[in-house]
Structure 1
Amino acid sequence: MLAGMLGVGAIFALLIPNIDWSWIPWPSLDLSWMRGFWPEWLTLRRLWPSWLHVDLPDWLKPVLACMKWVVPIMAAIVVSFTEIKRRRRRKTSRQWQSQDE
């Protein structure tokens, strides 16, 4: 599982950014006309109170920077444990079926 995660991570981190994507005919979309539909009062600066200013401790900044790696690894661990449970249930159900016959 670790080799698979490292391999996929290497593909996304090293291979994909270095590919020349200029040969793809990307459409040019001008979405500037949509700015008129967004109300000015619904911006994040207006919704966020000015008195609520949070300074993170110095030790927390590297921890939050590592979260982009921690969350996918934890998701992979959860998926693998659920797969193990599913396979065990299937195995026990097959054993019960073979005993019934």
Structure 2
Amino acid sequence: MFTCQVSPRPGPRSIDDGYAGSVYGTDIASPQTLSEAERRVVAMWAADCAERVVAIFESEAPTDGRPRDAIARSRAFARGELSAADGIRWRFVAGRAAT
């Protein structure tokens, strides 16, 4: 089971030091340096976190299925059922539909 927390590196940091935190014990220098496998781990973590609060959104917008769809797609990416390119394409389509 994933937990929804990121542990910061101890000691002073600046916004320019390129350090994004520690996710599941892996130090991440920059989001752009994540491997495909690490992105899949982060996607599952994000889906777990979103699922914990999606009911709050749904209480205000019960007919809007976009958050559940995004969670499902994140889990599909984490399981290797979607590629990163598929996810990017879907975000652009979803963004256009939301405006």
Give the alignment's TM-score, normalised by structure 1. Answer: 0.22
Q: Is the helix fraction higher in 1 or 2?
A: 1
Q: Select the structure of larger CA radius of gyration.
A: 1
Give the alignment's TM-score, normalised by structure 2. Answer: 0.23
The structure with higher relative contact order (CA 8 Å, sep 6+) is: 2
Q: Is the strand fraction higher in 1 or 2?
A: 2
